[in-house]
Each structure stands twice: as C-alpha cells, then as structure tokens.
Chain A
Amino acid sequence: MTENEHALHRYFIWADRMRFHFDQELGKRGQSVPSTDPLTIEEFMYMSMWYAQLYAVAEGWRELKLRDRKVDGLLDQTEHIELLRRYRNGVDHFQKDYFDLRFTKFAAKENSAAWVRTLNKALSDYFLSR
C-alpha cells in the first residue's frame, strides 16, 4: 500500500466505522420499519456520517487515480455518485430545511441502498488486498 493509499484508507476506516454503528442501530429495529416511523436520531446520524465519509473516500480515489474494476464500475454510476455528493453537502453544510432534498433524494433513488453497500464492500475488498 502506498502512502497515499494509506492516507485514503484512514478515511475509509472512518466511513466503515459509521456503517458499523448504523448497522448496529438497524439491528435494534423489529422485522421491518413501518412507513410512518421516522428515523431515530442515531440512525440518521450514523447513516449520514457514513454516506458523507464514503463520498470523501470516492473523492480521494479519483484524485489518486486508483484503479479497480469493481470500485470504478460503481463510481461510474454518475447519478448515484452525484446524489451522494449532494448528500455529503447536506451533511457538512448547514441546511435550514430539516428534510432538505439533499437527504431525501439519495434515499429515494432506486437501488441507492444496494449501491452504497456494494461500494463500501468493494472499497473494503480493495484495501484488504493491498
């Protein structure tokens, strides 16, 4: 692993730790979440920190011009990565609207949950292989 990759790996660890905590919160839920149930503050917090941090990893990945067939394939899905960028902006820059569209559009995007998990796993596999 190069020094730059090592630096990027730190950001990934931060993201993945947030994913871990988010999954722990999900485990506290029953079988399914009723459509009228808002996210708990912990669910929203860990999910948002995970998403924002994962976008930072994607940014670093591109800046370092790293290559991996699976990761690159996922980052090439422009609609998902653009919505994730806007989500990150919603997290890191104050929004007056509690349910700003930056937060809801990514969640509403088809396959966004699968995409973000697959990207997280692909990055994990990449760093483990280095």
Chain B
Amino acid sequence: MAQETNIAQCASKILDVLIEGGAVAGYAIKVEDLIAASELSDSGFDRADTYLLQAGYIDGTMGGRNGVRWLTPAGVELHQATKASHPSTDIHATHLNLHKSLKRQ
C-alpha cells in the first residue's frame, strides 16, 4: 500500500488514476477499481473521495464500492495545474530514492 501523508496526496493519486483511465462523463471507473489502482487504504480513499466530490473535481454515483467516479472539467484542470506547478517533484523523488538506497548500504 502506498504511503499516505495527507489528503492532498491521496486526492492526487485518485486524480492520476482517473486521468490515466480517461474517466470523463460516460467513461466512469468503478470505485472498487479506483481504490485498487490508487493503492490507497479505505480510509485514505474515503477522505480524499469525499473532498473531491464536495469540491466538484469529480462526480459519481452512490453504491459504495460498486459506485462509479469520473472527472469533471474542474478536476481535469486541477490535475493539470497541480502537475505544472511542481516541476521539481520528480527531481526530488529521484534524489530521495538515491538517499534511500545509500542509507541501506
């Protein structure tokens, strides 16, 4: 299971999966599949899912794990803005991974 530091990171993982799956209206992803693909815990997913729904970044149907989710235009824009505003994320992730491998030696 992926490390869950805060609700923003959980929400970002959900958006990543929806974007990669092309989940817009008419092409929804089942909640059960979304949880599995995002590798989030149930509680981490629930909090982020509630936030994204309330903020209007995603839409969906009821039914728990059998419900479905899709991106709204605001959600697509948020994903784009988030990725664009953090150009150094992959640099720092690589740097961290190098530290992790060196620390083990």
B97 and A37 form a contact (CB under 8 A)? no
Which residues, 23 to 38 on A, are CB-close (under 8 Å) to B? 23, 26, 28-30, 32-38
Chain B interface, DSSP helix/strand/loop, else mixed: helix
CB distance from B44 to the nearest CB of A (A): 14
Residues of A within 8 A of B88 (CB): 99, 103-104, 107
A35 touching B93, Cβ below 8 Å: yes
Residue among A23, A34, A107 making CB contact with B103, cutoff 8 Å: A23
Residues in B whose Cβ lies below 8 Å from that of A108 = 91, 95
Determine if A35 and B90 form an interchain contact, defined as CB atoms under 8 angstroms apart.
Answer: yes
CB neighbours of A36 from chain B (8 A): 12, 16, 83, 89-90, 93
Known: A30-B3, A99-B87, A103-B88. A37 touches B102 (CB 8 A): no
Chain B residues whose CB sits within 8 angstroms of the CB of A107 once the complex forms: 88, 91-92, 94-95
Contact B95 A28 (CB under 8 A): no
User: Are A35 and B89 in contact (CB-based, < 8 A)?
Assistant: yes
* A112 CB-CB contact with B under 8 Å: yes
B81 within 8 A of A: no
- State the CA gap A35–B83 with chains docked (Å): 11
A77, CB-defined interface residue at 8 Å? no
Q: Say whether A128 faces chain B, with CB atoms less than 8 Å apart.
A: no
A35 & B94 in contact (Cβ 8 Å cutoff): yes
CA distance A43 to B96 in the complex (A): 9
Contact of B86 among A26, A38, A117 (CB under 8 A): A38
Q: Are B93 and A117 in contact (CB under 8 A)?
A: no
| Binary CB contact string for chain B from 71 to 105 against chain A (1 if under 8 A, 0 otherwise) | 00000000000010011111111111111101100
Q: Given A30-B2, A34-B2, A114-B102: A99 and B93 within 8 A (CB)?
A: no
Identify which of residues 1-26 in chain B touch chain A, using a CB-to-CB cut-off of 8 Å.
Answer: 1-3, 5, 9, 12, 16
Residue of B nearest to A30 (CB): B3
Give the complex CA separation of A41 and B11 in angstroms: 17
Separation of A108 and B98 alpha carbons in the complex (Å): 11
Instruction: Tell yes or no: A7 within 8 A of B by CB.
Output: no
The 7 closest A-B pairs by CB, nearest first: A113-B98, A107-B95, A104-B88, A35-B90, A99-B88, A33-B93, A33-B96
